[in-house]
Structure 1
């Protein structure tokens, strides 16, 4: 590494909180599926900023929409109306079939908003006694880093020394329909769950799990909240991952790719019953629904559809999955995935996924380890077949090299 790169890394270490352990690559430019570091080396991005850059880095049409809106009006707060919000509502509702939309900024804010709203719905509509509402969640979940969310996390690193935590959450195993049914009580207002557990290592539930969940939620008047912040907006080869199971959530959370990586935008998509409980002054956000965010989100959704990115994710995801399965690598335990949300899980004796991510970096591919033994693969949805084949060859070469 050059002296300049080492100086930047040293400055981060000296002045920044040590809440991340990134790979030692300093990126300065991106286009499509590719990013370049400060020294001009090119890398295939196989993380997509945790699926926030589904449309590819610096998509020109989203950029143009952002620049155009930034010249006119960026922020009014919700104290006044703006000319982009209603159009955003109309377009996202038509695309997803939602009855109500509540715009926020980050994915974590969307999760917190949903928790507040389903509790309110539970008291005012379902008739749960005050302060008795329960929300069922899954072990190994990832819904953000806020205090409420880490309170029901099963990750000891996420929880350690951050308590006391808010009550009202019941944790069950992911993909276990019997455990879900047993956890439901008259006080249950919602089930908050990821269609595919991303941070846990791209864990896909058994076939038929979500249709059974949907049926139980309907039977017991429980709100089904699907956190599609990572899985949604094309990542799995469908607009929303729920489509793979043929179900509809009562509340859907989207974010990340909602702005194509240009700006923090998230949204709670809901039926009228849940979001209809909110009255003026009961919830809000200074930046939520601002005109810049809405203009960017509208462009991000438009290119996703018009440029066939969702269909490409399904097609290239299948090709990527087949290529990974065909690798001749002894230290791979399992290949998992749906669309372009993929994981390579290594055997524990392989020595951990981090060092293989570092080996991939040296070969020009950026990926991220999770849960010690798993490499996540999630390139932008604009990836081509040739780029997929190069990535598979690169991954196979890194996994078979001697790292001792």
Structure 2
């Protein structure tokens, strides 16, 4: 699948794709730094050995797992490895792993000598449909998630479906959070596919990854989600307009992640964040009840959370005020006016925000239930 723009690239979806890597790296690359987490060491070394067999000078940098790997200290470690190996502008970085790894590796590549090639080998569903595609890189600070980063398109992305065979169930489910987001903001067919067989999609993911016949729905979900993202970032790489719709649910989600010190999976936080945004739009008179109910139904059907603890509002609000969409003191949210009708809500009344939070608080009885 092709991602257009000033720096176009391809997203290759399939099985056992290492043979595609040299073409994405290009002809002039000599040295390659393979960045992977400690949990992905075996895969990282396999990529390194394959590159070495094809004449590249390849080395591996192991970083901490998940969001712990997205820090300035880890970036400095990678830069040190590259400096000691005399990396030049004709060399490259390859990430092997999930979304946190692609974020960190992209940031490292974009800042070394003001930019060298990076190719992402996405091994989680979340990375395949979201983090690896689009060119956003980032690291976390004590104040929030992804507050430091760059816009830097990769030279290519490999989505190797074989990795889904061994992906833990909830990591797969977390990836479905971003897929469902794409359905609500742009492609209702995604929602229909999941609603038709939510349990089967989750439980048969291993059989699909092995290539068994009849399990092509996950492939279609991945393709449709990548297509949604590609269509948006191809015309707006740097978040000045249309790309903001990809942040549906993310303002509240990033606040949850920050408050929970990144112990929540991103897709799970986005799930709650979408319900919060849906409730906010409903309370503002912009979204009908049935669409809000559809959020809860489809997210719950695949095992994603739709509520969050009710005693953290002040901390969440502080974190949301640091969101990248905020302008000055004006909070801005991506909301829906209907399925596949994304819009923005700027400066909502604080009482409206608190009411939406009450609707997603654990144990809450929603205002609609009260009215019944």
- Given the two structures, how large is their TM-score scaled by the length of structure 2? 0.38
Q: Which has the larger radius of gyration?
A: 1
Q: Which has the higher contact order (CA 8 A, sep 6+)?
A: 1
The structure with the largest helix share of the pair is: 2
Could you tell me the TM-score, scaled by structure 1's length?
A: 0.35
